[in-house]
Amino acid sequence: MPNRNSRSARFLVFAIALGWGFNWIASRVILEWLPPWTMRALGIGLGAITLVLVAVARRIPLALTKRQFVHVVVAAALNVIIFNVCSAYAQVFGTTSRAVVIAYSMPIWAALLAVVVLGERLDRVRLLALALCVAGLLMLILPQARVGFPLGALFALGCAWGWAAGTVYLKWARIEAPSLTITAWQLLIGFFALAVGMLLAEGIPHALDLPPKVWAWIIYNGLIGLGLTYFMWFVVVERLPAITASIGALLVPVIGVVASAVLIGEVPTVSDAIGFALIFFAAAAVLIRR
């Protein structure tokens, strides 16, 4: 059944891009009704429950050794806590389209970090990607800096750096456990940390009076954007070459930018469009390199 599995996996690549792309729109809508820590705690909590249920249904063991758990805690701090807090505040202080594109500069920073941590070679492709990425970031940040401190763009950059560090750390740690188990535990640990942050920074959430539309986006954010989409990603990684999956991931910022323009009216400026293109090609250069 290899051909059938390959075709279904390619369909999942597009489904993942839609799921993660629209998840940025979900976050923007929810942030109009809930503060950042509350939004993230609710979404990550639903995502964690979804992945745990999937693991139980597929009979994937959730047990970790003490050493594995320590590594997962560090990865959760980078991949879940820093990423989600920074991405939320990036949308609070900036536009969704700018946040998603800067966040998806992650492959460039991961490639550079891998040179230091994993001893990988800094070749011409990575240097070209870095130059394109820096040029793109300047196109996005300098116009903002002229009118004020570009806090949204800097939070988005922190989001990309945290994600990159978490990715390289997991590769360095070499945790011998199923990927679904590792991700489920990262979301669980992230949920408890974000819940504590929510209680300290924002207090007990008052979410019962939210409109049905907002609850629909909250459920989408947790169940699909942070739950089922992660599960589909593991299926794709198992069935397709890494390069195909990576190209699919590049569709996420494209969908995020288009959806933010259509659904919430965030039309990019000319400077933004140039910056988006430069960062997109930088990420593509890293992901598609031989």
pTM for the model: 0.86
Query: What is the chain's mean pLDDT, rounded?
Result: 86
How does pLDDT run across 11-38, given as a tens digit for each residue?
Answer: 788 888 889 989 999 999 999 999 999 9
Model confidence pLDDT, tens digit, residues 205-229: 876 788 998 999 999 999 999 888 8
Look at residue 179 in the predicted model and tell me its pLDDT: 87
d(CA 254, CA 244): 16
Give the separation between CA 248 and CA 228, rounded to whole angstroms: 16
Hey, what are 117's tokens?
């941590």
Q: How far is residue 111's CA from residue 201's CA, in Å, rounded to a whole number?
A: 35
Residues in the chain: 290
Inter-residue contact 54 to 180 (CB < 8 Å): yes
pLDDT at 1 over 50: no
Q: What is the pLDDT of residue 243?
A: 57
pLDDT at 241: 63
Q: Which domain holds residue 220?
A: 2-287
Percentage of the chain lying above the pLDDT 70 cut: 91
Residue 124 has pLDDT above 70, yes or no: yes
How many domains, the chain? 1
- Per the structure block, which two tokens stand in for 78? 């980078």
**Beta-carbon contacts of residue 188 (< 8 Å; ≥ 6 apart):** 48, 52
Which DSSP category does 225 fall into?
Answer: I
